Amino acid sequence: MISVALATHNGQRYIRQQITSILRQLSAEDEIIISDDGSTDRTIEIIRHIGSPLIKIVHLTPDTALPLPERIGRNFGNALQHCRGEYIFIADQDDIWLPNKVERMVEALQEYDLAVSDSLIMEPHCRCQRSFYGRRSPLRNYLLLGTKYQGCCLAMRRRIVEKMLPFPRRMPLYDTYLGLGGELIGRATYIKEPLIIHRQHDGNASRSTRNPLHYKISYRIRLLVQIYRRAIKHYVEQLKKGKIWRV
């Protein structure tokens, strides 16, 4: 079973196209879990109008006191808490999944616990697309100094998600938390093939966030502490059981 964790907030402009591109690749046993963080536009109306029995909406009471990166992490954490599938995908509200995304990622997850693919970046008012990662794999970025993880490019086996949930309170960069954490406690692979079209526009959360330097430094430190704490806990548990997944 495949679960897609999709977080929404005022995403009426692109949400229909994104969900349609996902549904084309799912079976009747799969699900799309949509966590909505208090949308005030037509996002929920559009989703309901699609009318797919695979879609389940879980509403999240907004916490406007949180910085935007932490609100995003809280929203995705809520979606992941409700996922029931063995293979769990992350989806942004404004991307487009290419037709072979699910097939390629599930194929990789037969051997690995976490897979991250490349993506094509589509700029506003521009048909030209460029690769986000290319040859620069995001893996083994143990100090968060190199290429970052894109959540929309991640897919994981359920056991990784279970190890990383619940998200710590006030979790920024949820995608790095899942990606690096999954890499440390499981086996990870990078798929060089772009499997989504990632829109960049003025409404992107990543573009609209302008945090001061001291906040960026502090949340990266917090993030690394939380990731390595989960990884150490996992290895202690495995040692007690006399086994280690990752070899």
Give pLDDT, residue 28: 97
Q: Which of 67, 58, 56, 65 is nearest to 30 (CA)?
A: 56
- State the pLDDT at residue 73: 93
Residue position matching structure tokens 């430094």: 217
| Alpha carbon distance 97, 119 (integer Å) | 9
Handedness of CA 212, 71, 134, 245 (dihedral sign): positive
Distances in whole angstroms, Cα of residue 25 to Cα of each of 30, 66, 88, 105, 196: 10, 35, 14, 12, 13
User: What pLDDT does residue 128 have?
Assistant: 61
- Which CATH number is associated with domain 2-241? 3.90.550.10
- Quote the pLDDT of residue 208: 46
What is the DSSP annotation of 44-74? HHHHHHH--TTEEEEE----TTS-HHHHHHH
Asked if residue 85 lies in contact with residue 158, where contact means CB atoms within 8 angstroms, the answer is yes
Given this model, what pLDDT does residue 209 score? 55
Q: What is the pLDDT along the chain (247 residues), one digit of tens a residue?
A: 999 999 999 999 999 999 999 999 999 999 999 999 999 999 999 999 999 999 999 999 999 888 898 999 999 999 999 999 999 999 999 999 999 999 999 999 999 999 999 999 987 766 667 888 988 899 988 888 877 899 999 999 999 999 999 998 877 789 999 999 999 999 999 999 999 999 885 555 554 456 777 777 887 888 899 999 999 998 888 888 776 555 4
pTM here is: 0.89
Question: How many whole angstroms separate alpha carbon 159 and alpha carbon 47?
Answer: 29
Q: What pLDDT is attached to residue 81?
A: 97
Determine the distance from the C-alpha atom of residue 87 to the mean position of all C-alpha atoms in its chain, rounded to a whole number. Answer: 13
- For residue 24, CA distances in Å to 36, 41, 52, 91, 210 come to 22, 25, 11, 14, 36
pLDDT value of position 126: 63
HEC per residue, 172-229:
CCHHHHHHHHHHHHCCEEEEEEEEEEEECCCCCHHHHCCCCHHHHHHHHHHHHHHHHH
Q: What is the pLDDT of residue 205?
A: 56
**Are 143 and 41 a contacting pair, CB within 8 Å?**
no
> With b meaning 16 or more CB within 10 Å and e meaning fewer, what string describes 87-117?
bbbbbbbbbbbbeebbebbbebbeebbbbbb
Q: Domain boundaries in the chain?
A: 2-241
